[in-house]
Amino acid sequence: MEAAADFLVKRNNVLNVNPLVANIDITTAASDWLWAVFAVMLASAIGLLAWGHSRPIGERAFHELAAALCFTASVAYFSMASDLGAAAVPVEFVRGGTLGENWVALGVTDPTRSIWYARYIDWTITTPMLLLSLVLATGMPLSQIFGLIFFDIVMIITGLLGALTPSRYKWGFFTFGCVAMLWIFYVLMFTARKSATLLGSDYAKAYTVSASVLAVLWFVYPIIWGVADGGNVITPTSEMVAYGVLDLLAKPVFSFIHMMQISRLDYARLGFSSSKVSDGAHQGLLHEKGPMSQSATPRPSTVVGDGNAFHNAPATQAHAQPQVAV
């Protein structure tokens, strides 16, 4: 019995296998928490994938996107729980007291803090996916979606550059990131909302719920950055708890709320179709199955450029279009 308890306490040996890189770094308790977040992300990815596969083949795109972003996060959390994916960066503000260490007494003149670049790699991949999942359900023109994704990448990469900068110039990068985020909020609040309204009141309602949840959560990230990566006010362990809770809310919880909203909607109204190449592949598959299916499938219109599928085609026509798996 005692041996079992001993094993449970000592089971997380990560910090001995992959040693800490910085003076100000995580604890084993933080690693335990990160393993828990890893497990939830992975379980959510599997759950979302299963949910998607319980739906007809043309109505799985959002579920697969959500599953993929949770899976990506699980890899990032595997990395952080294993104490991998961080770089030591000298802090701008030495706050010995708050961190429970007196660095000067310890003889450390230039204390470093762990900056978890693994997290920014995750966000570079997953935040565009979250935005896509939101705005693809609004019928917003592709050209504007590209702009939105561009500023999202600017926001995350400037956050990474700022975090890796030891001097006060980090706040310059942070400012770029905040401006990019404000632009994203502007597009979500006006352009995307207007598009969703044109699709119908049910789409508008679903969009408002999902977009509000997303915006409130995203707003907290730069605050955590300011007191963790940027200002070195809170410990890396508290940083892991704060970002971890936020990531759980912004990925699995947001995704489940968003999927519940859009599962109820009529996919046909989005006018989705595959790109020309996959249309061809799709038709080829039909051809292999026999001449009957080939003749029954005219090429559906493709949604590109500034044309909103819904704006271009009246609803009745959109409904009549053949459904292609997306």
* Piece of the chain touching ligand RET by CB under 6 A; list 1-9, 17-25, 81-89, 155-163: 155-163
- Measured from the CB atom, the residue of 207 and 267 that comes closer to ligand RET is 207
What residues form DSSP beta bridges with 88?
A: 114
| Residue-wise burial string across 171-199, b where 16 or more C-beta atoms lie within 10 A, e elsewhere | eebbebbbebbebbeebbeebbbebbbeb
Ramachandran angles phi, psi of 183, nearest 5°: -65, -40
For residue 147, the minimal CB distance to ligand RET (Å) is 17
Radius of gyration, alpha carbons of the chain: 23
Residues numbered 238 to 297 that lie near ligand RET (CB under 6 A) are: 247, 250-251
For residue 194, the minimal CB distance to ligand RET (Å) is 23
**Which residue's beta carbon is nearest to the bound ligand RET?**
159
Q: Give the contact letters, 21-50, x = binds to ligand RET (CB under 6 A), - = no.
A: ------------------------------
Number of residues that bind ligand RET (CB under 6 A): 20
- Measured from the CB atom, the residue of 78 and 310 that comes closer to ligand RET is 78
For residue 86, the minimal CB distance to ligand RET (Å) is 16
Residue 178 interacting with ligand RET (CB under 6 A): yes
- Measured from the CB atom, the residue of 84 and 125 that comes closer to ligand RET is 125
- Measured from the CB atom, the residue of 251 and 258 that comes closer to ligand RET is 251
Residue 79 interacting with ligand RET (CB under 6 A): no
Q: How far is CA 36 from the centre of its chain?
A: 18
The string of DSSP letters for 226-293 reads IIIIIT--S-HHHHHHHHHHHHHIIIIIHHHHHHHHHHTS-GGGGT----HHHHHHHHHHHHHH-HHH
For 107-110, the CB contacts below 8 A with 24+ separation are 108/23
d(CA 135, CA 147): 12
- Measured from the CB atom, the residue of 62 and 174 that comes closer to ligand RET is 174
For residue 311, the minimal CB distance to ligand RET (Å) is 30
* Piece of the chain touching ligand RET by CB under 6 A; list 25-33, 87-95, 219-227, 286-294: 219-227
* Identified binder of ligand RET from the candidate list 52, 111, 139, 159, rule CB under 6 A: 159
For residue 211, the minimal CB distance to ligand RET (Å) is 13
Residue 155 interacting with ligand RET (CB under 6 A): yes
Is the Cβ–Cβ distance between 189 and 218 less than 8 Å? Answer: no
Is the Cβ–Cβ distance between 290 and 81 less than 8 Å? Answer: no
d(CA 91, CA 232): 7
Within 8 A by CB and 6+ apart from 158, the residues are 173, 174, 176, 177, 180
- Measured from the CB atom, the residue of 127 and 165 that comes closer to ligand RET is 127
- Measured from the CB atom, the residue of 218 and 272 that comes closer to ligand RET is 218
Ramachandran angles phi, psi of 47, nearest 5°: -60, -45
* Piece of the chain touching ligand RET by CB under 6 A; list 22-30, 53-61, 110-118, 152-160: 152-160
**Residues found near ligand RET in the complex (CB under 6 A):** 73, 123, 126-127, 130, 155-156, 158-159, 174, 177-178, 181, 218, 221-222, 225, 247, 250-251
